[in-house]
A and B are shown apart, each in its own frame.
Chain A
Amino acid sequence: MHDTFTDWIDQDTLENLNITHLAESFSTAKPFPYLVIENFLSEEKQQVLLTAIKEEPFLEKFSDLFSFKQTHDLSGTSVAVLKEFRSFLSSKPFLHLIEKITDLELTEGIIDLHGSLYEKADYLLCHDDDLQGRKIAFMFYLSDLDKGDGGLLELYDEHEGDAGEIKERVVPKKGSLAFFAIDGHPYHAVSEIIKDKQRYAIAGWFHG
Protein backbone atom coordinates (compact mmCIF):
# COMPACT_ATOMS: atom_id res chain seq x y z
CA MET A 1 0.00 0.00 0.00
CA HIS A 2 1.15 3.55 -0.72
CA ASP A 3 2.51 5.49 2.25
CA THR A 4 -0.17 8.16 1.80
CA PHE A 5 -2.71 5.74 3.18
CA THR A 6 -1.15 5.77 6.63
CA ASP A 7 -1.95 9.49 6.88
CA TRP A 8 -5.67 9.15 6.20
CA ILE A 9 -6.74 5.64 7.08
CA ASP A 10 -7.27 4.33 10.58
CA GLN A 11 -4.40 2.01 11.56
CA ASP A 12 -6.54 -0.91 12.74
CA THR A 13 -8.70 -0.68 9.63
CA LEU A 14 -5.61 -0.59 7.45
CA GLU A 15 -4.05 -3.61 9.12
CA ASN A 16 -7.24 -5.63 8.84
CA LEU A 17 -8.13 -4.59 5.30
CA ASN A 18 -9.14 -7.77 3.46
CA ILE A 19 -9.77 -6.80 -0.15
CA THR A 20 -11.17 -10.20 -1.11
CA HIS A 21 -13.66 -10.12 1.73
CA LEU A 22 -14.64 -6.51 0.99
CA ALA A 23 -15.07 -7.27 -2.72
CA GLU A 24 -17.39 -10.16 -1.92
CA SER A 25 -19.40 -8.09 0.55
CA PHE A 26 -19.76 -5.38 -2.06
CA SER A 27 -20.83 -7.57 -4.95
CA THR A 28 -23.32 -9.65 -2.96
CA ALA A 29 -24.89 -6.74 -1.06
CA LYS A 30 -28.63 -6.15 -1.34
CA PRO A 31 -30.58 -4.34 -2.66
CA PHE A 32 -27.61 -3.39 -4.89
CA PRO A 33 -23.83 -3.46 -4.61
CA TYR A 34 -22.70 -1.19 -1.80
CA LEU A 35 -20.25 -1.19 1.08
CA VAL A 36 -19.78 0.64 4.36
CA ILE A 37 -16.32 0.58 5.96
CA GLU A 38 -16.60 1.90 9.51
CA ASN A 39 -13.67 3.74 11.06
CA PHE A 40 -12.06 4.19 7.66
CA LEU A 41 -10.64 7.64 8.40
CA SER A 42 -8.23 7.97 11.32
CA GLU A 43 -9.67 9.84 14.31
CA GLU A 44 -7.24 12.66 13.84
CA LYS A 45 -8.16 13.11 10.18
CA GLN A 46 -11.91 12.93 10.96
CA GLN A 47 -11.53 15.98 13.19
CA VAL A 48 -9.21 17.80 10.80
CA LEU A 49 -11.58 17.27 7.88
CA LEU A 50 -14.63 18.36 9.88
CA THR A 51 -12.89 21.57 10.94
CA ALA A 52 -11.71 22.12 7.36
CA ILE A 53 -15.06 21.58 5.66
CA LYS A 54 -16.70 24.05 8.04
CA GLU A 55 -14.38 26.71 6.57
CA GLU A 56 -16.00 26.25 3.17
CA PRO A 57 -19.09 28.31 2.35
CA PHE A 58 -22.22 26.15 2.26
CA LEU A 59 -25.01 27.14 -0.11
CA GLU A 60 -28.63 26.23 0.49
CA LYS A 61 -29.85 23.84 -2.18
CA PHE A 62 -33.56 23.46 -2.74
CA SER A 63 -35.54 21.69 -5.43
CA ASP A 64 -38.37 19.17 -5.77
CA LEU A 65 -35.83 16.48 -4.82
CA PHE A 66 -33.90 17.96 -1.91
CA SER A 67 -33.32 20.50 0.78
CA PHE A 68 -29.77 20.65 2.19
CA LYS A 69 -26.58 22.71 2.15
CA GLN A 70 -23.63 22.01 -0.11
CA THR A 71 -20.22 23.50 -0.84
CA HIS A 72 -18.93 24.22 -4.31
CA ASP A 73 -16.96 21.44 -5.94
CA LEU A 74 -13.81 21.13 -3.83
CA SER A 75 -11.57 21.27 -6.91
CA GLY A 76 -11.59 25.00 -6.29
CA THR A 77 -10.93 24.97 -2.55
CA SER A 78 -8.14 27.02 -1.03
CA VAL A 79 -8.24 25.04 2.23
CA ALA A 80 -5.01 23.04 2.34
CA VAL A 81 -6.36 19.97 4.13
CA LEU A 82 -9.23 19.65 1.65
CA LYS A 83 -6.78 19.94 -1.27
CA GLU A 84 -4.71 17.13 0.24
CA PHE A 85 -7.80 15.00 0.85
CA ARG A 86 -8.90 15.49 -2.74
CA SER A 87 -5.44 14.47 -3.94
CA PHE A 88 -5.60 11.39 -1.76
CA LEU A 89 -8.99 10.37 -3.20
CA SER A 90 -7.81 11.02 -6.77
CA SER A 91 -4.56 9.12 -6.23
CA LYS A 92 -3.78 5.92 -8.11
CA PRO A 93 -3.51 3.80 -4.95
CA PHE A 94 -6.89 4.87 -3.60
CA LEU A 95 -8.65 4.47 -6.95
CA HIS A 96 -6.96 1.10 -7.28
CA LEU A 97 -8.35 0.05 -3.90
CA ILE A 98 -11.88 1.01 -4.94
CA GLU A 99 -11.43 -0.71 -8.31
CA LYS A 100 -10.34 -3.94 -6.62
CA ILE A 101 -13.33 -3.88 -4.27
CA THR A 102 -15.90 -2.96 -6.92
CA ASP A 103 -14.36 -4.70 -9.97
CA LEU A 104 -15.03 -1.50 -11.93
CA GLU A 105 -12.59 0.50 -14.01
CA LEU A 106 -12.39 4.11 -12.89
CA THR A 107 -10.95 7.10 -14.72
CA GLU A 108 -7.98 8.57 -12.92
CA GLY A 109 -8.10 12.28 -12.25
CA ILE A 110 -11.85 12.75 -12.65
CA ILE A 111 -13.60 13.12 -9.34
CA ASP A 112 -16.57 15.20 -8.23
CA LEU A 113 -16.21 16.21 -4.60
CA HIS A 114 -18.22 18.44 -2.30
CA GLY A 115 -19.12 18.94 1.34
CA SER A 116 -22.74 18.41 2.41
CA LEU A 117 -24.65 19.49 5.49
CA TYR A 118 -28.09 18.31 6.49
CA GLU A 119 -29.88 19.98 9.40
CA LYS A 120 -33.40 19.71 10.83
CA ALA A 121 -36.03 19.31 8.06
CA ASP A 122 -33.34 18.71 5.38
CA TYR A 123 -33.68 15.64 3.14
CA LEU A 124 -32.81 14.08 -0.21
CA LEU A 125 -35.72 12.17 -1.77
CA CYS A 126 -35.51 8.91 -3.67
CA HIS A 127 -33.49 8.93 -6.93
CA ASP A 128 -30.85 6.89 -8.77
CA ASP A 129 -27.91 9.29 -9.43
CA ASP A 130 -28.05 8.37 -13.11
CA LEU A 131 -25.82 10.97 -14.79
CA GLN A 132 -23.42 10.38 -17.63
CA GLY A 133 -19.98 9.18 -16.66
CA ARG A 134 -20.67 8.56 -12.98
CA LYS A 135 -19.60 5.09 -11.85
CA ILE A 136 -19.33 5.12 -8.04
CA ALA A 137 -21.04 7.37 -5.51
CA PHE A 138 -19.15 7.70 -2.23
CA MET A 139 -19.50 9.53 1.05
CA PHE A 140 -17.25 10.05 4.07
CA TYR A 141 -19.37 10.74 7.14
CA LEU A 142 -18.01 13.34 9.55
CA SER A 143 -20.91 13.27 12.04
CA ASP A 144 -22.38 10.66 14.38
CA LEU A 145 -26.13 10.23 14.19
CA ASP A 146 -28.57 7.87 15.88
CA LYS A 147 -31.30 6.02 13.99
CA GLY A 148 -34.02 8.25 15.51
CA ASP A 149 -32.33 11.46 14.26
CA GLY A 150 -33.01 10.85 10.58
CA GLY A 151 -30.29 11.56 8.04
CA LEU A 152 -30.01 7.85 7.21
CA LEU A 153 -28.85 6.66 3.81
CA GLU A 154 -31.81 4.55 2.65
CA LEU A 155 -31.33 1.97 -0.09
CA TYR A 156 -34.34 0.81 -2.10
CA ASP A 157 -34.93 -2.26 -4.18
CA GLU A 158 -36.32 -1.92 -7.68
CA HIS A 159 -39.85 -2.67 -8.83
CA GLU A 160 -40.62 -2.55 -12.59
CA GLY A 161 -38.00 0.11 -13.18
CA ASP A 162 -39.08 2.30 -10.27
CA ALA A 163 -38.05 2.28 -6.64
CA GLY A 164 -39.73 -0.35 -4.48
CA GLU A 165 -39.16 -0.62 -0.75
CA ILE A 166 -36.37 0.44 1.57
CA LYS A 167 -34.18 -2.61 2.15
CA GLU A 168 -31.23 -1.13 3.99
CA ARG A 169 -30.60 1.90 6.19
CA VAL A 170 -27.09 3.21 6.89
CA VAL A 171 -26.74 5.28 10.06
CA PRO A 172 -23.92 7.84 9.57
CA LYS A 173 -20.96 7.26 11.89
CA LYS A 174 -17.96 9.59 12.02
CA GLY A 175 -15.08 8.35 9.91
CA SER A 176 -17.09 5.80 7.89
CA LEU A 177 -16.77 5.44 4.15
CA ALA A 178 -19.85 4.32 2.21
CA PHE A 179 -20.02 3.77 -1.53
CA PHE A 180 -22.15 2.12 -4.18
CA ALA A 181 -22.20 1.52 -7.95
CA ILE A 182 -24.33 3.75 -10.19
CA ASP A 183 -25.03 1.00 -12.76
CA GLY A 184 -28.61 -0.21 -12.85
CA HIS A 185 -31.05 1.69 -10.68
CA PRO A 186 -29.47 2.15 -7.28
CA TYR A 187 -32.43 4.03 -5.82
CA HIS A 188 -31.45 5.78 -2.61
CA ALA A 189 -32.40 8.69 -0.38
CA VAL A 190 -31.29 10.54 2.72
CA SER A 191 -34.12 10.54 5.24
CA GLU A 192 -35.21 13.84 6.71
CA ILE A 193 -33.38 14.98 9.81
CA ILE A 194 -36.06 15.41 12.47
CA LYS A 195 -33.92 16.47 15.45
CA ASP A 196 -31.66 19.45 16.04
CA LYS A 197 -28.59 17.69 14.70
CA GLN A 198 -26.01 18.46 12.03
CA ARG A 199 -24.95 15.81 9.52
CA TYR A 200 -21.68 16.71 7.82
CA ALA A 201 -20.18 14.61 5.04
CA ILE A 202 -17.71 14.87 2.18
CA ALA A 203 -19.19 13.11 -0.83
CA GLY A 204 -18.88 12.76 -4.56
CA TRP A 205 -18.54 10.48 -7.55
CA PHE A 206 -15.83 8.58 -9.34
CA HIS A 207 -16.12 8.36 -13.09
CA GLY A 208 -15.31 5.54 -15.47
Chain B
Amino acid sequence: MDKINQAYLTDQAVNETASVFKETGHLTLSDFFTHHTYQEFSKIASRSAFQKNGIPNKYHFGSANIPKKLMDFLHHQEFLDYLSDILGIDVHQLTSGMLYQFKHKDYTLLHDDLTLEPGIDLVFEFTPEWNDQAGGEITYTKEGDAFSLPIKANSFSIINRTEEHRFVRYVNCHAKDQKRWFVLVTLEVQ
Protein backbone atom coordinates (compact mmCIF):
# COMPACT_ATOMS: atom_id res chain seq x y z
CA MET B 1 0.00 0.00 0.00
CA ASP B 2 2.54 2.52 -1.13
CA LYS B 3 -0.06 4.87 -2.57
CA ILE B 4 -1.72 5.98 0.68
CA ASN B 5 -0.16 8.43 3.11
CA GLN B 6 1.51 6.14 5.67
CA ALA B 7 0.26 8.28 8.54
CA TYR B 8 -3.24 6.91 7.92
CA LEU B 9 -2.18 3.27 7.94
CA THR B 10 -0.92 2.84 11.50
CA ASP B 11 -3.17 0.82 13.83
CA GLN B 12 -3.84 3.93 15.88
CA ALA B 13 -4.78 5.98 12.83
CA VAL B 14 -7.08 3.28 11.48
CA ASN B 15 -8.80 2.96 14.86
CA GLU B 16 -9.24 6.74 15.14
CA THR B 17 -10.65 6.98 11.63
CA ALA B 18 -13.02 4.10 12.27
CA SER B 19 -14.13 5.68 15.51
CA VAL B 20 -14.87 9.07 13.91
CA PHE B 21 -16.81 7.40 11.14
CA LYS B 22 -18.84 5.34 13.57
CA GLU B 23 -19.68 8.41 15.66
CA THR B 24 -20.44 10.98 12.99
CA GLY B 25 -21.24 9.00 9.84
CA HIS B 26 -18.83 11.04 7.71
CA LEU B 27 -15.22 12.18 7.65
CA THR B 28 -12.60 13.77 5.40
CA LEU B 29 -8.94 12.80 5.35
CA SER B 30 -6.52 15.43 3.94
CA ASP B 31 -3.37 14.54 1.99
CA PHE B 32 -4.73 11.04 1.54
CA PHE B 33 -2.49 9.85 -1.30
CA THR B 34 1.28 10.16 -1.30
CA HIS B 35 2.46 13.21 -3.20
CA HIS B 36 3.67 11.13 -6.14
CA THR B 37 0.44 9.11 -6.38
CA TYR B 38 -1.72 12.21 -6.14
CA GLN B 39 0.22 13.93 -8.94
CA GLU B 40 -0.21 10.84 -11.10
CA PHE B 41 -3.93 10.35 -10.41
CA SER B 42 -4.86 14.02 -10.69
CA LYS B 43 -3.04 14.36 -14.01
CA ILE B 44 -4.89 11.37 -15.43
CA ALA B 45 -8.21 12.68 -14.07
CA SER B 46 -7.88 16.16 -15.54
CA ARG B 47 -6.86 14.81 -18.95
CA SER B 48 -9.78 12.42 -19.29
CA ALA B 49 -12.28 12.81 -22.10
CA PHE B 50 -15.51 13.98 -20.46
CA GLN B 51 -18.97 13.34 -21.81
CA LYS B 52 -21.48 16.16 -21.33
CA ASN B 53 -24.62 15.28 -19.39
CA GLY B 54 -27.48 17.73 -19.19
CA ILE B 55 -31.17 17.71 -18.36
CA PRO B 56 -31.67 21.34 -17.28
CA ASN B 57 -34.21 20.61 -14.51
CA LYS B 58 -31.97 17.86 -13.10
CA TYR B 59 -28.24 18.29 -13.79
CA HIS B 60 -25.44 19.59 -16.03
CA PHE B 61 -21.87 18.27 -15.75
CA GLY B 62 -19.15 16.21 -17.45
CA SER B 63 -18.41 12.60 -16.59
CA ALA B 64 -16.00 9.84 -17.57
CA ASN B 65 -15.26 6.29 -16.55
CA ILE B 66 -12.85 6.04 -13.66
CA PRO B 67 -9.34 5.84 -15.21
CA LYS B 68 -7.78 2.39 -15.15
CA LYS B 69 -4.92 3.22 -12.78
CA LEU B 70 -7.33 4.62 -10.21
CA MET B 71 -9.70 1.71 -10.74
CA ASP B 72 -6.82 -0.73 -10.09
CA PHE B 73 -6.18 1.06 -6.81
CA LEU B 74 -9.88 0.88 -5.82
CA HIS B 75 -9.95 -2.84 -6.51
CA HIS B 76 -6.68 -3.57 -4.75
CA GLN B 77 -7.27 -6.01 -1.86
CA GLU B 78 -5.20 -3.92 0.55
CA PHE B 79 -7.40 -0.88 -0.07
CA LEU B 80 -10.54 -2.97 0.35
CA ASP B 81 -9.14 -4.33 3.63
CA TYR B 82 -8.37 -0.77 4.77
CA LEU B 83 -11.94 0.27 3.96
CA SER B 84 -13.33 -2.75 5.77
CA ASP B 85 -11.40 -1.76 8.91
CA ILE B 86 -12.70 1.83 8.72
CA LEU B 87 -16.30 0.97 7.93
CA GLY B 88 -16.64 -2.07 10.16
CA ILE B 89 -18.11 -4.14 7.33
CA ASP B 90 -16.62 -6.55 4.81
CA VAL B 91 -15.96 -4.70 1.59
CA HIS B 92 -15.50 -7.07 -1.29
CA GLN B 93 -15.95 -4.81 -4.26
CA LEU B 94 -16.88 -1.24 -5.05
CA THR B 95 -20.09 -1.06 -6.99
CA SER B 96 -20.76 2.09 -8.95
CA GLY B 97 -18.54 5.09 -9.55
CA MET B 98 -17.57 7.77 -12.03
CA LEU B 99 -15.05 10.57 -12.53
CA TYR B 100 -16.79 13.96 -12.65
CA GLN B 101 -15.85 17.35 -14.03
CA PHE B 102 -17.70 20.49 -12.91
CA LYS B 103 -17.01 23.98 -14.25
CA HIS B 104 -18.88 27.28 -14.51
CA LYS B 105 -22.66 26.66 -14.95
CA ASP B 106 -22.48 22.97 -13.95
CA TYR B 107 -24.68 21.60 -11.12
CA THR B 108 -26.96 18.83 -9.96
CA LEU B 109 -30.42 19.32 -8.44
CA LEU B 110 -32.45 17.38 -5.92
CA HIS B 111 -35.23 15.69 -7.85
CA ASP B 112 -37.75 12.93 -7.12
CA ASP B 113 -36.48 11.00 -10.16
CA LEU B 114 -32.95 11.07 -8.81
CA THR B 115 -33.59 9.62 -5.35
CA LEU B 116 -30.63 7.55 -4.18
CA GLU B 117 -30.62 4.24 -2.40
CA PRO B 118 -28.80 4.37 0.95
CA GLY B 119 -25.08 3.73 0.58
CA ILE B 120 -21.58 4.75 1.55
CA ASP B 121 -20.09 7.44 -0.69
CA LEU B 122 -16.36 7.61 -1.22
CA VAL B 123 -15.13 10.89 -2.71
CA PHE B 124 -11.59 11.43 -3.99
CA GLU B 125 -10.87 15.10 -4.66
CA PHE B 126 -8.60 16.00 -7.59
CA THR B 127 -9.28 19.73 -7.83
CA PRO B 128 -5.92 21.58 -7.67
CA GLU B 129 -7.21 25.09 -7.03
CA TRP B 130 -10.66 26.40 -6.26
CA ASN B 131 -12.17 29.77 -5.36
CA ASP B 132 -14.30 29.10 -2.28
CA GLN B 133 -16.87 31.65 -3.50
CA ALA B 134 -17.46 29.62 -6.67
CA GLY B 135 -19.87 26.96 -5.33
CA GLY B 136 -19.48 23.42 -6.71
CA GLU B 137 -19.50 21.71 -3.29
CA ILE B 138 -20.88 18.20 -2.89
CA THR B 139 -23.64 18.86 -0.36
CA TYR B 140 -25.64 16.46 1.78
CA THR B 141 -28.99 17.49 3.23
CA LYS B 142 -31.40 15.88 5.66
CA GLU B 143 -34.50 17.51 7.12
CA GLY B 144 -33.24 21.06 6.73
CA ASP B 145 -29.68 20.39 7.91
CA ALA B 146 -26.85 20.38 5.40
CA PHE B 147 -23.12 19.85 5.23
CA SER B 148 -20.70 20.17 2.33
CA LEU B 149 -17.46 18.39 1.61
CA PRO B 150 -14.42 20.67 1.42
CA ILE B 151 -12.99 21.17 -2.06
CA LYS B 152 -9.40 20.44 -1.22
CA ALA B 153 -6.87 18.71 -3.42
CA ASN B 154 -5.98 15.17 -2.34
CA SER B 155 -8.74 14.82 0.24
CA PHE B 156 -10.67 11.59 0.67
CA SER B 157 -14.16 11.66 2.18
CA ILE B 158 -16.37 8.82 3.37
CA ILE B 159 -20.08 9.50 3.92
CA ASN B 160 -22.60 7.05 5.31
CA ARG B 161 -25.68 8.14 3.42
CA THR B 162 -28.82 6.76 5.03
CA GLU B 163 -31.60 9.31 4.55
CA GLU B 164 -29.49 12.16 3.24
CA HIS B 165 -29.96 13.64 -0.20
CA ARG B 166 -26.97 14.73 -2.23
CA PHE B 167 -26.37 17.46 -4.80
CA VAL B 168 -23.51 19.46 -6.26
CA ARG B 169 -23.98 23.22 -5.87
CA TYR B 170 -24.10 25.33 -9.01
CA VAL B 171 -20.65 26.51 -10.06
CA ASN B 172 -20.92 30.29 -10.43
CA CYS B 173 -18.91 32.94 -12.29
CA HIS B 174 -16.31 33.23 -9.52
CA ALA B 175 -14.91 29.94 -10.85
CA LYS B 176 -13.84 31.69 -14.07
CA ASP B 177 -11.87 29.04 -16.03
CA GLN B 178 -11.23 26.77 -13.08
CA LYS B 179 -12.50 23.20 -13.23
CA ARG B 180 -13.06 20.71 -10.49
CA TRP B 181 -12.59 16.98 -10.70
CA PHE B 182 -13.58 14.27 -8.27
CA VAL B 183 -14.25 10.57 -8.24
CA LEU B 184 -17.43 9.48 -6.48
CA VAL B 185 -17.90 5.79 -5.73
CA THR B 186 -20.85 4.34 -3.84
CA LEU B 187 -20.92 1.15 -1.86
CA GLU B 188 -24.36 -0.33 -1.62
CA VAL B 189 -25.21 -1.22 1.93
CA GLN B 190 -27.74 -3.91 2.66
Contact = CB atoms under 8 A, between A and B. Distances in A.
Interface of A: 64-65, 67, 120-121, 123, 125-128, 156, 162-164, 166, 187, 189, 192, 194
B169 interface: yes
A192 B173 CA distance: 8
Interface residues of B, number: 19
A192 B139 contact: no
A157 to B, nearest CB: 10
Most buried by B among A65, A127, A166, A187: A65
Nearest to B133: A121
A118 to B, nearest CB: 12
Contacts of B110: 64-65
Given A126-B57, A187-B56, A65 B173 contact: no
Interface in B135-185: 135, 139, 141, 167, 169-170, 172-174
A163 B54 CA distance: 10
Given A65-B109, A192-B172, 20 more contacts: A64-B108, A64-B110, A64-B139, A64-B167, A65-B110, A67-B170, A121-B135, A121-B173, A123-B172, A125-B56, A125-B107, A125-B170, A127-B109, A128-B57, A156-B56, A162-B55, A162-B57, A162-B58, A163-B55, A164-B56
B57 A127 contact: yes
Most buried by A among B57, B133, B167, B169: B57
B76 interface: no
Contacts of B174: 121
B105 interface: yes
Nearest to B165: A64
Contacts of A120: 173
Given A64-B110, A121-B133, A121-B173, A192 B56 contact: no
Contacts of A65: 109-110
A189 B173 contact: no
B56 A126 contact: yes
Contacts of B108: 64
B170 A187 contact: no
A67 B139 CA distance: 15
A126 B55 CA distance: 9
A192 B107 CA distance: 13
24 contacts: A64-B108, A64-B167, A67-B135, A67-B170, A67-B172, A120-B173, A121-B133, A121-B174, A123-B170, A123-B172, A125-B57, A126-B56, A127-B57, A127-B109, A156-B56, A162-B56, A162-B57, A162-B58, A163-B57, A164-B56, A187-B56, A187-B57, A192-B105, A192-B170
A37 B52 CA distance: 37
Contacts of A164: 56
A156 B55 CA distance: 11
Contacts of B58: 162
Nearest to A165: B56
A156 B139 CA distance: 27
Contact of B56 (A121, A123, A189, A194): A189
A65 B108 CA distance: 9
